[in-house]
Structure formats: C-alpha cells, structure tokens
Structure 1
Amino acid sequence: MAKAGGQVPLVQRRLLDLKLFEVPKWTLRRLVSPKAVFCAMCRGHDTYYKKYIDVKKGGIGGVAMFLMGYVVISYIWNYSHIKHDRWRKHH
C-alpha cells in the first residue's frame, strides 16, 4: 500500500489524513457513483453503531445523540409554524 518513499497515494488516503490544499484533488479522484455513495453511508452508519450503540459498557450517549438530532430536525421542520405562532395574539 505504501510506496518506496513511504507515502500513500492520494486516492487511498482518508479525508482526515489530507492537508487542506489536497482536498479538491482528492475529491475529484474519488468514485462518486450511487453505489459508492451508498457504501459510504453504510460505513458511516456501521461506525456510529459500533462506537455509540453496540458497546460492552453501554451508556446513554449514543441514544441521547440520536434523540437530540431528532429534536433539532423536528424544530427545523416546524420553525415556520412556530415563528408564526409567536406573532399571533391569543385572546
């Protein structure tokens, strides 16, 4: 995987291992097919599940993060309705 000089090719590096100026080149060389996007989403879900949900010493962290995300998304979806309710006069 590593070359003789000890450097990993740009395409095989992870996003967090890149320098800022390498990100555009790395993005253009990545495979952006629907299957690749689906596989990346599955890997992200598996990583989240292994890190926060499926642990031996279980905590409330993963579930709390999921519920907080649900609350934030619900608020965003209902913001326009909430904003209009604020200006109404209730008699």
Structure 2
Amino acid sequence: MADRPVPVKDLKLLDIKLGQLPGWLASRNYSPMGFVNGYRRGYNRFYSKYIDVKKGGIGGIAMLLTGYVLISYIWNYDHIKHERWRRYH
C-alpha cells in the first residue's frame, strides 16, 4: 500500500522540492507568534537531538557555546575593529 501524500505545508524545508518552494513559503506563518512558534520548534528539536539523550557527549553543548561565541563576535565586531587601529603610546 502506498503512502498517503503529505501536504506541502507539513513538510520540512529539506524535504521539499524546488518546484514546491513557493507554495511552502506561502503556507508559512509570518506573524510574530509564528516566529516564536518556529523558534520553539527548532529549539525543542535541537534539545531532543543533542542534549536530552541517554548517552550524551559534548557535541550539543559545544555547538551552543560555538554559536554564542560567533554571535558575540559579530555583535562586537565594530568595537573590535576600531580598537585594532588605535595606537597605544
């Protein structure tokens, strides 16, 4: 018995084909609550895959710390760039 077709709006981004992309983007919820729900789903997926496991390693926490370091560097880049060109004498 063949699998039933899944609606495009229920597919993940990696599961859609290029021709289905406009329909998938049109079915997304772009309200502030939609963004909050999308962030929450992503966080829950990350947490259940890397943090909440029986035999966990350092991979999930290392990814979080690396992301934090990269974001803080991007936020402070202007200050770091100007600090680099100052002369101390």
Say whether the fold is shared (TM-score over 0.5). yes
The CA deviation string for residues 19-69 of structure 1, in whole angstroms up to 9 with x for no partner, is 112111211123434433322221111110011111111111111111111
Structure 1 position 14, deviation (Å): 2.6
Flag structure 1 segments of 5+ consecutive residues without an equivalent: none
**Which SS does the other structure have where 2:41 is aligned?**
helix
Structure 1 position 9, deviation (Å): 2.9
User: Share of identical aligned residues, percent?
Assistant: 55
2:36 matches 1:32: no
Flag structure 2 segments of 5+ consecutive residues without an equivalent: none
TM-score, normalised to structure 2, is: 0.82
Aligned residue type for 1:24: P
Aligned residues: 87
TM-score, normalised to structure 1, is: 0.80
Aligned to 1:78: 76
Question: Aligned partners of 2:68, 2:36: CA distance in 1, in Å?
Answer: 22
Q: Which sits farther off after the overlay, 81-90 or 8-17? A: 8-17
